[in-house]
Structure 1
Amino acid sequence: MINYPRSDKTGAARLIPSWKLVLGSLLTLAVIGAGAFAAAVFLLPVPKPNDVAIAETTKVMYDDGKKEIGRIGDVRRTSVTLDEVPEHVQYAVLAAEDRDFYDHGGFSVGAIFRAVWNNLTGGSTQGGSTITQQYVKNAYLSQDQTWSRKVNELVLSVKLETIESKDEILENYLNTIYFGRGAYGIEAAAEVFFGKSASKLTMEEGAALAAMIQAPANYEPTLYKDALVDRWYYVMDGMVEKGWLSQQERQQADFPKFKKPPNANQLSGQNGYIIEAVKREMLEEGWTEAELSGGGLTIVTTINRKSQKAAVAAVEASGPEFETKRLRIGLAAVRPGSGEILAIYGGEDYLENQLDNALQARAQGGSTFKAFTLAAAIEEGFGLDSIWNGSSPATVDGYTLQNFGNASYGSVSLLSATTNSINTAYVDAESTVGVKESIDAAERLGLPQDTPGIEPNLTFVLGSSSPRAIDMASSFSTFAARGRAADPTILREVIVDSGDVNYQIDPNRGKRVFDQDTMDTVNYALQSVVNSGTGTRASWTGRPAAGKTGTADESKSAWFVGYTPQISAAVMMTKSNKKGEPVSLNGTGGVGNVTGGSFPAAIWASFINGALEGEEMESFVPPGGTIPTEGPSESPSQSPSAEPEPSPSEPVIPSQSPSGQPTLPPTEEPVPTPNNGGVPEQEGVPPQGRNSVAPAPSG
């Protein structure tokens, strides 16, 4: 009989349970819990693996949902017996995933605590699931991260250990686990990655495959070789620790050579870049690799077929034809207001180079960043007629810099400084408006905060930071959308195998980050760059267009970022030496001085012509008030003057005795020099072929 409240005590002490009662209660709960767990293990049936839904490939479609781009995960699976898998491969898998597999009963409390400890202390990242638990989850259960699924996984794991031997569980695991590239099971993985049967795998190859199990996408050898090598060493160290491999064998091991990814036809050209971009974003959204590779999904992308064809055709028609070794060209285009990625040009062929020049590669942005300071200045109340120091060389807040060719312009309006991309005037403006204000404007417009090189100093306006093409296309799309920004996305719709729509993009997802009047004034100023400034080749479209050129120091990168009301696109060019280090673009395609106003602007124009062929011509909303054609006053003005159309003043003849070289480290934007400087101005003639861009001083 339970003595509670306690009869041998008085007062409040009667309510304090005795240690016998506490111990007895805990033992009773433990017995009941153990009994319930045992009953669950006994009563819960184990489904046959054959009852699991057959994995299906995932289709990746163009934005119309009708034309297929390619597929993710052509499911490959060939079952083999454990005897057909070399022992050193079995040991490698155990070293990678469950070193105590033969010593536990389905789950390992020690493994769970070790995983928690390593993850908290910064050791090697580990999971707490045993091989049995992983097999149960993959073969019988869903991937849901819920408590009910976790309990079922634990119960089934223990149950399975009572009806199947350890060798049977390991064999089933090796035949079902996902290795990447659509390969389920060790036999398929051996074929896909090494072109041989699992029975022929070497120790080094087996360890490499075992290393990939934890996160196949993050250890794809063509993309993340360094990470895979580190994990490979971890696996072999585990084999040494368990006595399955000698230290000498470990030290003599050489990292194996992998086959190129399969599905060459569907991944060739731009398709591989698009499919990989889809995979990255889907994983970021919480989908698992197994769901992507075998879930039977239909992913409708934002990629527009006509725009995509136009991107490829533009690079082929207007890009350089010779002196192109190790040249990289990236193009990204987005829809203003929604952030939908309409087209990308990631490189000539994904199979030859997997680094995406549109969505992954980076380069200094040069004077394209002047557009961010322009937006900040307009928002702060400075008009396009405000006057700034365009003399060269100039010293601003301790920084000494000069314009391209040391061209000196004297006092110039903000409009003229934008049209002609005048370095000194823009650094003067940034110093007054504020560097933090310029950076804030850039980030609101869409430049990621983690863009390398963003520092709160005057070099920001000259583009010392290194964005991606998609970052710049997205940021400038906010101008086109009159102040509405949306993060770029390649996902329009995701349809699960049942036919239900799991996700659908909101075409009006853009959020207001700038007022329309500010954006209309910015658009007006950036139209002058295309109409009569450093980006006149972009006017070849014959459509209202705005944009900004950018050229890094020594022409190590060249940009044109431009937009119409319907589309925003960025074109980036870089070149490297054998070591992968950036080198000057000068001389590429026979052009002595490659700038953003040369090939990049020509490619952009060619792309816009193709992407908007047959589309209605749209104009920008003119700004309120009146706009100057020249800088009319001697000091910065808060109000615009009375001239309606952009016609910037001609630059003065550069000084014949420049003093010194600039000490400011970042990029400098080439600007037009007068004809009497000995370099002919370029006429706005449409390109006739790939090498149609003649040398020009404007950038």
Structure 2
Amino acid sequence: MLGFVILGLLGFAALVFVYMRTEIPQPNADAAKQVSIVYYNDGKTELDRFSSVNREDVELAKVPLHVQRAFLAAEDRKFYTNNGVSATGIVRAFWTNLRGGQQQGGSTITQQYVKNYFLTQDRTVSRKLKEVMISIKIDRKYTKDEILKNYLNNIFFGRNSYGIQSASKVYFDKDVSKLTPAEGAFLASVINAPGIYDPANGERAKTAVRGRMDYVLNGMVDMGWMTQQAKDQIRFPAVQPRKAPTYGSGPTGYITASVRNELKSTLKLSDEDIDRGGLRITTTIDKNAQDAAVRAVEDNVPAVSSIPLRAGLVSQKPDGSVVAMYGGKDYRKNNYNSATQAAPQGGSSYKAFGLVGALENGYSLNSRFDGNSPVKLPGLDKPLQNNLGVSYGSVDLSFMMKKSVNTAFLRLNMEMGPAKTRAAAIKAGIPQTSPGLADDTTNILGTASTRVIDMARAYSTISSEGKRATPYFISKVASVTGDYSYAAEPKTEQTIDKDVAADVVNAMAGVNEAGGTGYPSLQGAGFTRPSGGKTGTTDEFKAAWYSGFTPNQLTTSVGMYAGDGTDSLREAAGAEFYGGAVPATIWAEYMNAALKGQPVAKLPEPGNVKGKQPATEYVPPPATTRRPTATSSRPAPSATTTTTTTTTSSPTSSPTSTPSSSPPSTTTSSSTSTTTAPTTTSAPPSTTQPSVPTSTTRPPATTTVPQPTAPAAQPTAPAAPASVPAP
């Protein structure tokens, strides 16, 4: 018995000693450390920060009494009579925690204030003991009203808001002094778990917060602070829609938003962890590359007064690390990301997937198809044709890619089956849920809606020997307290045969060589590295693309559209708008700067995939072949934009790709004319560098597609085009 008494006295003495040694920290002593900072990939240069803590302190007298009482009913009904701690709550919490059960709070309002204002969020016995000691001292040092005021000014309400004044504005768009009893009860309820109780998170959250509000209001009735009749008359308040937080200004904000999304979806961190966790976040973004992306886009996208032109750019390494992204001109003015949310049709960019499908299914780069124009497809009222109606005769797969021969690709797709093209696109990295990605013959012309980040991923797979990676923005994360750390572990998956990928890369290299659809713009920008790519222009100029790579080194996709995605680039810019013009120029200028000082990557050795003999018969183009003319200041950079044409006995491409004129065995073309295909004799005229665009606050209304880490519904797929997309 005496031993128990001695142990009790020793324990009490120890507690007294700890109490005497515990000092109240300076308020906000750790505030700077709790700011989360985002860095470029060097881990030193600051990119942005989650530092704009939305807090506006108010005096307690400004908070209506019914709102104060709602918080007391929710969190600490004995606040004005206890000594800052709850003995029963502490015992319950310690006992449960020691037994390994679910973490217990057992916290009074004073304890919560101490934890949030003076201490860390650690859940340890030592931290809890320190919290208790400081709470007792705080209760003796400050009045209850002072403690309640500080508590209400610092508690987290979700939506990046701290303190009741900022919460009043983000949830109800009013000053705290104007809050009704229902609104006060709502705010007192949401602090318990903002992520669970915010109605913006859906009906389940709305139901949950109703239940919590009922608990709060019943508590007010029990405490005599509200009559039952008044409680019965309360209705659920009208809550403001959640608005996108405003991060950094300019293009940086789109990156910060993507980083935040990855912190939540991949690392499973809460908003409070991000906003107050003192995180040091190192991204994959390279400052030189990012600056180059901004310059390339904003120096080349024309400024128009009526319909704004929008561009998205994503550049990634073979492991999926995103080194640069351009989602828009200013996130604060328009938070719709043109690189990760907008999903215009992919256009001729999808021909690369058709080529993958062909090489995987018995064809080789020497396989030939009828490139005459037009071609009639079952189910379509109008025949489809090549750009400017040009006919090319019999062409092999390399030539088809170089010149972006629509009719030849359509005939390939009809023969091998469009399911092969769709499967290849999915294996490369296009989400199988992409609207419009169907087993339809025109899928090879890019009728599917596609995000720029997905196109970059898919082309990176081709460039990286057929190894697919998931795009990511975060390299590593560490907290200033040392209690949290994360390091990305990128993984790749071989989804396309290495030899197939090598042959596709070599075929796509022709696009960037003399005579290819991308060559004029790349030449004009002075880009000379070995590379591959593909231009893309959709029906009625609704979208324009250039996506390409330096093999196994860096892949970049540039996509452009006008207005809300339903407008025409041609109408907005006042001229024809091809992927081989502005998008290709942006790509080339960006790649020149991003790759400066890096080794020159070489094209892979050809895979020499063996295919079957040609399955189509050569049919010369008709005698009435249209003579193309160069009339636009922004022409299609391909053989179809010429000043003169000549006829020869067989179609001739560039020196690197010359199709044979020997006829195969079967006939698939509807054309029976005996005239020959035109041959380019002069290059297209150069384009003029446009001016910088003006900013806009009008968000696109087409498709809101989620971050790659959280796929969701994409836009409704458009119908197959009545005329074939240009290269």
**TM norm structure 1:** 0.68
The C-alpha deviation readout for 1:554-591, integer Å capped at 9, x for no partner, is 11111111111321111111122xxx461111133342
The structure-2 alpha-carbon separation of the partners of 1:549 and 1:219, relative to structure 1 and needing over 3 Å to count, comes to farther
The C-alpha deviation readout for 1:206-240, integer Å capped at 9, x for no partner, is 699679758868999xxxx9769997899799979
Contact 1:362 1:466 in 2 (8 A): yes
The structure-2 alpha-carbon separation of the partners of 1:553 and 1:70, relative to structure 1 and needing over 3 Å to count, comes to same
For residues 212-251 of structure 1, the aligned pairs below 5 Å read none
Equivalent AA in structure 1 for residue 396 of structure 2: S
Contact 1:558 1:594 in 2 (8 A): yes
The residue that corresponds to 1:635 in the other structure is 615
The residue that corresponds to 1:641 in the other structure is none
Task: Write the distance in 2 (CA, Å) between the matches of 1:424 and 1:548.
Answer: 17
Choose from 492, 497, 509 the match for 1:527. 509
The residue that corresponds to 1:348 in the other structure is 329
Deviation at 1:537, TM superposition (A): 3.9
SS in 2 for 1:587: helix
Contact 2:182 2:235 in 1 (8 A): no
Equivalent AA in structure 1 for residue 478 of structure 2: I
Choose from 355, 374, 378 the match for 2:355. 374
Equivalent AA in structure 2 for residue 268 of structure 1: S
SS in 2 for 1:574: strand
Deviation at 1:476, TM superposition (A): 0.6
Task: Write the distance in 2 (CA, Å) between the matches of 1:419 and 1:656.
Answer: 20
Matched, 1:430 2:413: yes
Deviation at 1:393, TM superposition (A): 3.2
What is the RMSD of the two structures over their aligned residues, measured on CA atoms?
Answer: 5.4
Deviation at 1:690, TM superposition (A): 3.5
The structure-2 alpha-carbon separation of the partners of 1:257 and 1:464, relative to structure 1 and needing over 3 Å to count, comes to closer
For residues 197-212 of structure 1, the aligned pairs below 5 Å read 198-199=176-177
SS in 1 for 2:329: coil
Task: Write the distance in 2 (CA, Å) between the matches of 1:545 and 1:650.
Answer: 32
Deviation at 1:281, TM superposition (A): 0.1
**Which segment is superposed worse, 675-684 or 448-457?**
675-684
Deviation at 1:689, TM superposition (A): 5.2
Contact 2:170 2:240 in 1 (8 A): no
The residue that corresponds to 1:559 in the other structure is 545
Unaligned runs of 5+ in 2: 1-14, 80-87, 91-103, 218-227, 628-635, 646-677, 694-724
Deviation at 1:71, TM superposition (A): 0.8
The C-alpha deviation readout for 1:90-122, integer Å capped at 9, x for no partner, is 698899x99x999xx999xxxxxxxxxxxxxxx
Deviation at 1:347, TM superposition (A): 0.8
Matched, 1:364 2:345: yes
Matched, 1:546 2:528: no
Choose from 581, 601, 605 the match for 1:618. 601
The residue that corresponds to 1:123 in the other structure is none
For residues 74-89 of structure 1, the aligned pairs below 5 Å read 74-75=52-53, 84-86=62-64
The C-alpha deviation readout for 1:311-366, integer Å capped at 9, x for no partner, is 1110122221335633221111111x211111111111111101111122221111
SS in 2 for 1:459: helix
Matched, 1:187 2:165: yes
The structure-2 alpha-carbon separation of the partners of 1:78 and 1:330, relative to structure 1 and needing over 3 Å to count, comes to closer
For residues 637-652 of structure 1, the aligned pairs below 5 Å read none
Task: Write the distance in 2 (CA, Å) between the matches of 1:413 and 1:359.
Answer: 35
Task: Write the distance in 1 (CA, Å) between the matches of 2:621 and 2:511.
Answer: 14
The structure-2 alpha-carbon separation of the partners of 1:94 and 1:567, relative to structure 1 and needing over 3 Å to count, comes to farther
The residue that corresponds to 1:311 in the other structure is 293
The residue that corresponds to 2:713 in the other structure is none
Task: Write the distance in 1 (CA, Å) between the matches of 2:202 and 2:69.
Answer: 18
The C-alpha deviation readout for 1:412-451, integer Å capped at 9, x for no partner, is 3222222222333223323333333322322222222332
SS in 2 for 1:573: strand
The structure-2 alpha-carbon separation of the partners of 1:410 and 1:204, relative to structure 1 and needing over 3 Å to count, comes to farther
The residue that corresponds to 1:66 in the other structure is 44
Deviation at 1:378, TM superposition (A): 1.1
Choose from 562, 569, 589 the match for 1:575. 562
Task: Write the distance in 1 (CA, Å) between the matches of 2:194 and 2:284.
Answer: 26
Unaligned runs of 5+ in 1: 1-42, 108-127, 638-648, 658-668
Choose from 578, 588, 591 the match for 2:572. 588
The residue that corresponds to 2:463 in the other structure is 480
For residues 18-417 of structure 1, the aligned pairs below 5 Å read 54=30, 56-75=34-53, 84-86=62-64, 139=116, 174-180=152-158, 182-190=160-168, 198-199=176-177, 267-284=248-265, 285-323=267-305, 325-335=307-317, 337-396=318-377, 398=379, 401-404=383-386, 405-417=388-400
Task: Write the distance in 1 (CA, Å) between the matches of 2:175 and 2:585.
Answer: 51
Task: Write the distance in 1 (CA, Å) between the matches of 2:290 and 2:406.
Answer: 35
Choose from 493, 501, 516 the match for 1:511. 493
The residue that corresponds to 1:9 in the other structure is none
Task: Write the distance in 1 (CA, Å) between the matches of 2:637 and 2:241.
Answer: 46
The structure-2 alpha-carbon separation of the partners of 1:326 and 1:415, relative to structure 1 and needing over 3 Å to count, comes to same
The residue that corresponds to 1:34 in the other structure is none
SS in 2 for 1:586: helix
Contact 1:92 1:210 in 2 (8 A): yes
Equivalent AA in structure 2 for residue 442 of structure 1: A
Equivalent AA in structure 1 for residue 510 of structure 2: S
**Which segment is superposed worse, 58-67 or 380-389?**
380-389
The C-alpha deviation readout for 1:182-218, integer Å capped at 9, x for no partner, is 5322135457889986335578986996797588689
Matched, 1:675 2:642: yes
Task: Write the distance in 1 (CA, Å) between the matches of 2:24 and 2:253.
Answer: 33
SS in 2 for 1:286: coil
Task: Write the distance in 2 (CA, Å) between the matches of 1:429 and 1:132.
Answer: 72
Equivalent AA in structure 2 for residue 394 of structure 1: V
Deviation at 1:617, TM superposition (A): 2.4
Task: Write the distance in 2 (CA, Å) between the matches of 1:260 and 1:633.
Answer: 57
The residue that corresponds to 2:402 in the other structure is 419
Deviation at 1:61, TM superposition (A): 0.4
Equivalent AA in structure 2 for residue 293 of structure 1: D
Contact 1:554 1:584 in 2 (8 A): yes
Equivalent AA in structure 2 for residue 470 of structure 1: I
Contact 1:445 1:513 in 2 (8 A): yes
**TM norm structure 2:** 0.66
SS in 1 for 2:291: helix
